[in-house]
């Protein structure tokens, strides 16, 4: 091999190594490459969000128990079938302080940004809060009719025995939802703007509609349960070229702590021993 050939080969190896290092950096650095499921943690609560699939946020735990099956967003800009926002592509994301993630999906027509901020109530409290800020920007050259959907499937206490009520009405819009299992509850308040449509249903009616029904408009049914229940909101907005739709929401999760069977047994044994000691003292 000549000196010239060796020099060329050496430069090719360096270039290949550099390209590999750049690609590796893109895959590992938040905001640039393939996003792995993101886990947020704060003060006794955790939440996991799969940014690359329709599973979306699929775990929200307090007191060590997951209360969420799936919470994610769909959209459509025509009369076709809605699509999960991760199908927009062009994902970039950033993590902040282990309890906040900001993700942006973007193509030539539309950009949707989702920011999740988790605030735990403290270890052992059974309370947590999640704020969601959503920004949909029209990147096209003309008006864009956006239908944006939020779908939520919580299974509180993993009991399969939940009730859900949505507050609001057609015309004035829908602004609040509460789901409960006994004294355990999840609530979501929409700060602005109110949703145009809503739907409370048994699993998996609404999910099937989102994935199969063209031109879907939620049915405005406001109650479901007891059972495996879900709820959804829909915003129907025409966004001018270069303009955006901002949606602000807040979820609060409050779990009533149920003692472990062993703890209950210890409490019962202690109460029995106390009762026996009192009887002896009085006799």
Non-local (6+) Cβ contacts of 113 within 8 A are: 102, 103, 104, 105, 133, 134, 135, 136, 137
Tokens 């027509």 label which residue?
109
The secondary structure of the chain in percent helix, strand, coil, rounded to multiples of 5, reads 20, 50, 30
Provide the 3-class DSSP secondary structure of residue 282. helix
- Position 217 scores a pLDDT of 98
Tell me if residue 53 falls in helix, strand or coil: coil
DSSP-derived secondary structure letter, 217: -
Do you find a cis peptide bond into 226, omega within 30 degrees of 0? Answer: yes
Nearest CA among 162, 226, 235, 229 for reference residue 198:
235
**Residue found under tokens 């270890």:** 123
- How far apart, in whole angstroms, are the C-alpha atoms of residue 222 and residue 169? 9
SS3 91: coil
> Which structure tokens are listed for 265?
């047994």
What three-state secondary structure class fits 215? coil
What pLDDT shows up at residue 272? 39
In tens digits, what is the pLDDT along the chain, a chain of 283 residues? 554 444 544 444 444 444 444 344 444 444 444 557 999 999 999 999 999 999 999 999 999 999 999 999 999 999 999 999 999 999 999 999 999 999 999 999 999 999 999 999 999 999 999 999 999 999 999 999 999 999 999 999 999 999 999 999 999 999 999 999 999 999 999 999 999 999 999 999 999 999 999 999 999 999 999 999 999 999 999 999 999 999 999 999 998 754 433 333 333 334 333 333 333 334 4
Instruction: Give CA separation, 83 vs 70, 90, 118, 276, in Å.
Output: 15, 15, 26, 65
Domain 37-279 CATH class label: mainly beta
Q: Compute the CA torsion angle 193, 126, 202, 54 (nearest 10 deg).
A: 70
The residue to which tokens 């929200």 are assigned: 60
């Amino acid at each position: 091999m000549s000196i010239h050939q060796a020099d060329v080969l050496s430069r090719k190896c360096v270039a290949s190594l550099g390209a590999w290092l750049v690609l590796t950096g893109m895959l590992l650095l938040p905001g640039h490459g393939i996003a792995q499921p993101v886990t947020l943690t704060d003060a006794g609560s955790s939440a996991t969000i799969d940014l690359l699939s329709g599973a979306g946020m699929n775990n929200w735990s307090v007191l060590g128990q997951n209360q969420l099956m799936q919470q994610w967003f769909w959209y459509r800009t025509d009369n076709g079938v809605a699509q999960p926002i991760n199908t927009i592509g062009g994902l970039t994301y950033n993590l902040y302080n282990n309890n906040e993630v900001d993700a942006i999906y973007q193509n030539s027509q539309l950009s949707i940004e989702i920011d999740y901020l988790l605030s735990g109530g403290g270890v052992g409290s059974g309370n947590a809060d999640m704020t969601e800020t959503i920004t949909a920007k029209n990147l096209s050259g003309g008006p864009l009719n956006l239908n944006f959907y939020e779908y939520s499937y919580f299974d509180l206490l993993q009991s399969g025995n939940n009730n859900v009520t949505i507050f609001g009405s057609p015309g004035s819009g829908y602004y609040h939802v509460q789901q409960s299992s006994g004294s355990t509850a999840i609530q979501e308040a929409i700060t602005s703007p109110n949703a145009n449509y809503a739907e409370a249903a048994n699993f998996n009616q609404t999910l099937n509609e989102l994935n199969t029904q063209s031109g879907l408009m939620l049915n405005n049914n406001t109650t479901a349960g007891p059972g495996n229940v879900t709820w959804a909101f829909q915003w129907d907005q025409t966004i001018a070229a270069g303009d955006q739709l901002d949606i602000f929401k807040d979820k609060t999760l409050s779990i009533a702590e149920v003692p472990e069977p062993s703890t209950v047994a210890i409490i019962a044994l202690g109460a029995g021993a106390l009762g026996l000691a009192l009887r002896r003292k009085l006799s």
